[in-house]
Amino acid sequence: MDHKRSIKLPKRLSSVLSLLPEQGMGYQIVDIRLKSGKWITQIPVYNSELLVIDDIENILSKEITAVRVHEDSIT
């Protein structure tokens, strides 16, 4: 069974997403970059601010440095 948790995006990144198209009503599929340089892909984000990630991903909001809409999800 998958366990998920929500992380609120930093306001500056949430503002970027709010200007980009949604993939569905109220959500986007995004990739995030961490301070380490690692990209984590295909994460749902709701209302341009709430990431929903697997519990095993030990990520804090302050570690997220960039966000982009996942290219495969753009139609």
Give the Cα-Cα-Cα angle 47, 4, 17 (nearest 5 degrees): 25
In this predicted structure, the answer to whether residue 59 has a pLDDT above a threshold of 60 is yes
Is 45 or 58 the better-scoring residue by pLDDT? 45
Rounded distance between C-alpha atoms, residue 5 and residue 22, angstroms:
21
pLDDT, tens digit, 9 for 90 and up, residues 10-43: 999 999 999 998 988 999 999 999 999 999 999 9
What pLDDT, on the 0 to 100 scale, is given for residue 49? Answer: 95
Query: For the whole model, what pTM was predicted?
Result: 0.85
Three-class SS of the chain: CCCEEEEECCHHHHHHHHCCCCCECCEEEEEEEECCCCEEEEEEEECCCEEEEECCCCCCHHHEEEEEECHHHCC
Structure tokens at 5: 């948790």
